[in-house]
Amino acid sequence: MADPFYITTAIHYPNGKPHIGHAYETIAADVVARFHRAMGREVRFQTGTDEHGLKIAQKARDLGISPRELVDDMSSYFKALFDRLDVSYDRFIRTTEDVHHRASQSLWDAMAASGDLYLDRYEGWYSVRDEAYYDESELTEGEGGEKLSPQGTPVEWTVEESWFFRLSKYQEPLLALYRDHPEFVRPESRLNEVRSFVEGGLRDLSVSRSSFDWGVKVPGAEDHVMYVWVDALTNYLTGLGYPDDTADYRTFWPADIHLIGKDIVRFHTVYWPAFLMSAGLPLPRTVFGHGFVLNREGQKESKSLGNTTDPHELADRFGVDVLRYFLMREISFGQDGTYSAEAIVLRGNSELANAFGNLAQRTLSLISKNLGGALPDIAGHDSADTALLETIDAAVRGDIPAAFAALAPHQAVEAWLQAVFACNAYIDAQAPWTLKKTDPERMRTVLATLYIAIAQLAVAISPVIPTSAARLLDQMGIAPELRGYAAIGSHWYSPLAESGFRLAPPVGLFPRLELPEETPA
């Protein structure tokens, strides 16, 4: 077994139902997790919901229910969505779990033991929507003189007794971290932003609230609850059994990747490593801040703006794998990207249905109809066969896994698609439907070559479209143990052909999609 691999998403704030941004991040993390499993690594993949904080308390009050009733209801929507989207998480964590309260209090105690917590009075600007504190210099002025955070959210002047964390103490250690381990913050543009922020000077951070009680109690100060980000960030440890010396903790910590939205990079690359340094714990290896999914008008989807799209609806309309493929294909990872129904239909039809689905359908149908489903012997490759298999091998063993490993799924999909195009050019040039009359032996070799290539391509793209890839590989008789990147070659073909396997008439993978009808004005 290769080295273990631990990946997390940010835990999602359940003050409303999930939208396309939540789906995008979690699908992306799932693609990375599935890729590393296919590489033979022992993978731990964690996601979940972040259920404390003032915003939850206020939302519950507005609805006339308890905060617990609100998060129990809303968290279930996130879990149901991720199950629907074929997300292969190993742990769905909720911060209202008793084990998480214990872990958060243990981390607090460790920071206190380092002398990094003290009681004082907080006066400053706070955004309830962001659950974040801002310096006066970071604020802008909105309509009517309203003060706004860098995210454009309202801030309010807050005064209360608070515990503080000595964040200022960690300015130089953080700058050394960024200098010595630039891979800690990715992509590079995020690293530059974070470094600039820290170089501007760090003030001690208010890490408790006493004006409401929906949160994890501060040890020894029961009238205080922890600042929601102290408790939220601890989830990455909780899921491995911290503070106990569990097998999961020993195996998987420190995390390999925290995959998060770019709007919460500061919390993960300034506050989180400082907390861990204070507690004497190892730091995660990489925090990757991806971009936003924007609608066709170029707007970020937001529950507060009321412009969200239900991912369930998109999955119903286009199919789960088509949606997964589109999001990984369309958006350059790390940058913002847009989506629309028209773009999803275009990618689904032209690339999945026409390019790959039709390639598989034509090839498997020819074998089923002309050879009774028996896999043809390879009578002898010519230069065209060898060139195609070398092209496919270079993609599935080189370009595609290299792109996945580099957190560039869009590049992995592009490399895969170019290999699919090479197969289509080959089948059109060889025309096996004509060879069945003029040169049946040559037809058999062409179909065998395509069978090998299609199976390799199905394995290579399986992290992105797992259900469709598995359905195709099932039809083709490819055993589960042959569906990893380590077993992606052609050595399996002759044993399968000689085993008596018979290919059934193939079933299409990707039905053609239609654009939604325009709604009358």
When pLDDT is averaged across residues 231-242 and rounded to a whole number, the result is 98
Q: What is the mean pLDDT of the chain?
A: 94
pTM score: 0.94
Check: CB of residue 227 under 8 Å from CB of residue 207: yes
Q: Are 324 and 464 in contact (CB under 8 A)?
A: yes
CA dihedral sign, ordered 468, 350, 404, 46: negative
Which of these, 447, 422, 426, lies nearest to 503 by C-alpha position? 447
Contact 47, 493 (CB under 8 A): no
Question: So what's the pLDDT on residue 303?
Answer: 60
Mean pLDDT of all residues in 499-521: 81
d(CA 11, CA 449): 45
In a domain, 480, yes or no: yes
Residue 437, judged by CB atoms within 10 A of its CB (0-12, 13-18, 19+), counts as exposed
Give the number of domains in the chain.
1
What would the pLDDT profile of 8-26 be if each residue is shown by its tens digit?
A: 999 999 999 999 999 999 9
Query: Tell me, what's the pLDDT at 301?
Result: 66
Q: Mean per-residue pLDDT for 373-384? A: 87
Q: Is 474 a domain residue?
A: yes
Q: How far apart (Å, rounded) are the C-alpha atoms in residues 396 and 27?
A: 21
- The domain of 426 spans 346-498
Closest CA to 463 of 20, 33, 8: 33
Q: Tell whether 517 is covered by a domain.
A: no
For 239-297, what is each residue's pLDDT tens digit? 999 999 999 999 999 999 999 999 999 999 999 999 999 999 999 999 999 999 998 77
**Closest of 316, 291, 292 to residue 302, by C-alpha:** 292
Residue 144: predicted pLDDT: 80
Q: In 3D, which of 303, 281, 300 has the Cα closest to residue 291?
A: 300
Residues 6+ apart with CB under 8 A from 504: 368, 373, 475
d(CA 55, CA 61): 10
Least reliable range by pLDDT among 93-97, 136-140, 172-176, 181-185:
136-140
Sign of CA dihedral 175, 112, 50, 91: positive
Nearest to 300 by CA among 331, 343, 272, 269: 331
Is residue 302 in a domain?
A: no
Q: What is the mean pLDDT of residues 305-312?
A: 79
Q: What DSSP assignment string belongs to 178-234?
A: HHH-GGGEESHHHHHHHHHHHHT----EE-EESS---SPEETTEEEEEE-HHHHHHT
The single residue listed with the structure tokens 């003029």 is: 438
At 484 the three-state DSSP class reads coil
Residue-wise pLDDT for 338-358, tens only, equals 999 999 999 999 999 999 999
The domain that contains 443 carries what CATH number?
1.10.730.10
| 126 inside domain | no
Residue 488 scores a pLDDT above 50: yes
What is the per-residue pLDDT across 30-43, written as a single tens digit (0 to 9) for each? Answer: 999 999 999 999 99
- Residue 104 CB: number of other CB atoms within 10 A? 27
Place of tokens 């709007």: 263
Q: Is residue 464 part of a domain?
A: yes
